[in-house]
Amino acid sequence: MRKRCVPVAAKKVWGALTWQEVRDKFEAANPTLRAGQIGIAESKAQEITAFLRPNPNFALSTDGTQLARYHGVWQPFTGTQFSTNFSYLHERQRKRELRLESAQKVTGITISSQADLERNLVFGLRMAFVQTLQEKAILELAKENLSYYDHVLDVNRERFKAGAISRVDLDRLELQRVQYESDLQIAEESLETAKIQLLMLLNHRTPVEQFDVTGPFDFSRQIAPLDEVRQEALDARPDLRAALQSIEKAKTDHRLAVANGSTDPTLSAWYTYNPSFNNPNDHQTLGASVSIPLRIFDRNQGEKLRTQLDIDRSARLAEATKAQVFSDVDSAYATVTSTVTLLQPYKDRYLEMASRVRDTIAFSYEHGAASLLDFLSSQAEYRTVQVNYLNLVASYMNAANQLNLAAGREVIQ
């Protein structure tokens, strides 16, 4: 009898994600961003409340019911009056429209604040992404160094068997391998830690061994002029946009405060049945009234002054934000250019030179033309130059990320 095979759902394994794929997953799943999007929806709901008209009032009243006998007569309901009253507050000077405009500008500020939140969160995400790429590059270097050193050990073991080197020299070479093993172990641990941090930002529970990222780990000599980056920052920075929107909202709030200082009449109308008027035949009557508050003491003076001051305050804050934008851009730009200046000689000369020195000294040592100390020194120098280069590339990519944060958009991919 054949057993029935029940398929087991395999866990989804992500391929190596590019930066754009990581960012898309982050924007779709990050709880902080999603909470901010709900905040925008809440702000839009406030617009509905701001534009609502005042509710009319309805009142039903009775009067004239006899409570006690008078001259021996008790007819309690003969003179009872029934009256229905409708009243409505009429808002003048576009109060509803100004409330709606103010609420809409709050929504605009909320949208800009959400964009600024995303800008800062993406900065942290890019830092974690770059760190993962850096640790991958360091891990590959550690593997390459260990593989190269193992080849050297194999050659020198043969030399030892042939009597070309002493046991002490071979033991020193064997002991030096510990450093490369340690580098490999540390690189593997650091890469795993970087992936865990990145997965946390993505709010995903994928096992670390099933998660990987890919992308260029290099630098570019091409950088846009400083004035162009400054202008892009002025156009794109959401915190600056929010500051400018706050000025416009403050102006709208001031106009609303002035409008709230005006008089709003309350219009009323009523219908009365069986009134006790002088006209004995007037059993059904209509009435109307207009109630106008006398704005003698309270003309909303305090709110008018506060909103006027808030315009000036918002303008000063916008100036401070603009100054901060220039400071952020200039600082990040200087870091990027300085890092590129440091990287260029590594790319042009030092990497090739370190590799050439290592290979030459290794060849010379294998043929008895160089000392053990020279050989170990060349290995250490090669390792140091390579690690320094990778760290500088990571510094460049982080500085570029800082410049993108300062500009409010990706001016360096």
> Residue 62: which pLDDT band, with cuts at 50, 70 and 90?
confident
Taking a C-beta distance cutoff of 8 angstroms, is the pair 339, 396 a contact? yes
Task: Return all residues near 95 (Cβ < 8 A) that are at least 6 apart.
Answer: 256, 259, 260, 264
Distance CA 270, CA 285 (A): 8
Is the pTM for the entire model greater than 0.85?
no
Residue 14, pLDDT score? 61
Chain centre to alpha carbon of residue 258: 37
Tell me if residue 273 falls in helix, strand or coil: strand
> Residue 370: which pLDDT band, with cuts at 50, 70 and 90?
confident
Q: Which whole-number Å values give the CA distances from 32 to 25, 84, 181, 197, 405, in the listed order?
A: 13, 54, 41, 16, 18
Task: Return all residues near 395 (Cβ < 8 A) that are at least 6 apart.
Answer: 339
Please say if the pLDDT value at position 164 is more than 60: yes
Please say if the pLDDT value at position 383 is more than 70: yes
| pLDDT tens sequence across 178-214 | 999 999 999 999 999 999 999 999 888 888 989 999 9
| Average pLDDT along the chain | 90
> Residue 276: which pLDDT band, with cuts at 50, 70 and 90?
low
Please say if the pLDDT value at position 1 is more than 60: no
- What mean pLDDT do residues 125-137 have? 95
Extract the runs of DSSP E, i.e. beta strands, from 170-274. Answer: 212-213, 266-273
- Report the candidate in 106, 326, 366, 373 with the shortest Cα–Cα distance to residue 226: 326
Please say if the pLDDT value at position 12 is more than 80: no
Please say if the pLDDT value at position 26 is more than 60: yes
Distance CA 321, CA 238 (A): 11
- Report the candidate in 180, 179, 131 with the shortest Cα–Cα distance to residue 391: 131
Distance CA 395, CA 255 (A): 50
Please say if the pLDDT value at position 258 is more than 70: yes
- What mean pLDDT do residues 107-112 have? 97
Distance CA 137, CA 344 (A): 19
